[in-house]
Amino acid sequence: MKLGVNTVELFSGDHLVLNVLADLDDLSLVEQVQRLHGELGVDLVELPANMLVICPQLFTERTIKALADYQARSGVGYTVHLPFRGLDLSSLAQPIWEASVESYREIIHRLEEELKVEHYVLHLTEALLKQVEAKAHWGTELQGKLVEALYARAKKGLELLLETAPREKLLVENIKSGYQKPFALARELELGICCDVGHLLLEGADPRRVVEDYRELIREFHFHGVVERTQKDGRAALQDHQAVGRSVFPVDEALDLLLADDFSGVLMIEVGTWTAAAESVQAVKEYLARKHSE
């Protein structure tokens, strides 16, 4: 098993805010990678390719070359989370769909030229699916037909992407809205899976069942804590991307499940702050030490 961590403060799902932070430049990502690898001692760091389409001035050719130089010196591994803001393989708008396919192709090509990348993780849909789910007045039949249309579109886009992308590196990830359709499509197209455990908890799925059902396809886990928060209106809600030791799914129980059968893929910690990253890496390393001593 290889242990990784995402680029924490630069990991924000939207990345929009990075455009107005004056202290960032196109080497900030490299500096974050160096710190995470050097101080936390992980095997891999996840690169957020959202930056390539939302704040490309912070992820330039200079960034890529510096990442390659550091990889050559240090031996750090990289995984890449492909963009899920702005681009959308499930788009029913032809120009956006075509641009999404071409953008993914170009991003993978650029990174493959310079870096040694373990996996490219991909959301098949997200923003459009949430819009459909929010339209309860459409009724379940119409919503269901639209969901099928979105996934059919995503499948076609994925097939085109696979004409040039390295099939063995491309992983389909489950989103917060569900795992069944993304994972079924991955199985149909003979692709690997990135199983996001936090997303499973948010959708109310049983991680034990899902992992066992798809274990032979899982090449990477996204691992983060999910905690229960009380909102201002008094209602309880789950919040993900927290330190793994504070999760509603106890860390030892989770790792017993994820790392069973001598899992040899990537365990990627996806959290939003340096403190959460450090706590999570420590929790995983302590678990591994206990298992080694048993």
List pLDDT tens digits, range 183-211.
999 999 999 999 999 999 999 999 999 99
Question: 141 exposed, middle or buried (CB, 10 Å; 0-12, 13-18, 19+)?
Answer: exposed
Domains located in the chain, CATH noted: 2-220 (3.20.20.150)
Q: Is the pLDDT of residue 234 over 80?
A: no
* 127 or 231: which leads in pLDDT: 127
Which tokens go with 114?
A: 């310079």
Distance CA(161)–CA(165), nearest Å, equals 6
Taking only Cα atoms into account, the Rg of the chain, rounded to an integer number of angstroms, comes to: 19
Which pLDDT value is given to residue 231? Answer: 66
Q: Is the pTM of this model over 0.85?
A: yes
Distance CA(4)–CA(243), nearest Å, equals 14
Task: Determine the residue type at 100.
Answer: S
| Contact predicate 79/147, CB 8 Å | no
Which of 26-30, 134-138, 149-153 is modeled with the greatest confidence?
26-30
- Under DSSP, is residue 36 helix (H, G, I), strand (E, B) or coil? helix
Please provide the average confidence, as pLDDT, over all residues in the chain: 93
CA distances from 241 to 13, 154, 201, 268, 276 (A): 11, 26, 11, 12, 9
Which pLDDT value is given to residue 292? Answer: 87
Which candidate, 110, 120, 111, places its Cα nearest to that of 84? 120
Residue partners of 94: CB distance under 8 A and separation at least 6: none
Distance CA(159)–CA(175), nearest Å, equals 20
Which pLDDT value is given to residue 248? Answer: 92
DSSP state of 58: G
Which pLDDT value is given to residue 232? Answer: 67
Question: 136 exposed, middle or buried (CB, 10 Å; 0-12, 13-18, 19+)?
Answer: exposed
> What are the φ and ψ backbone dihedral angles of 225, each rounded to 5 degrees?
-80, 150
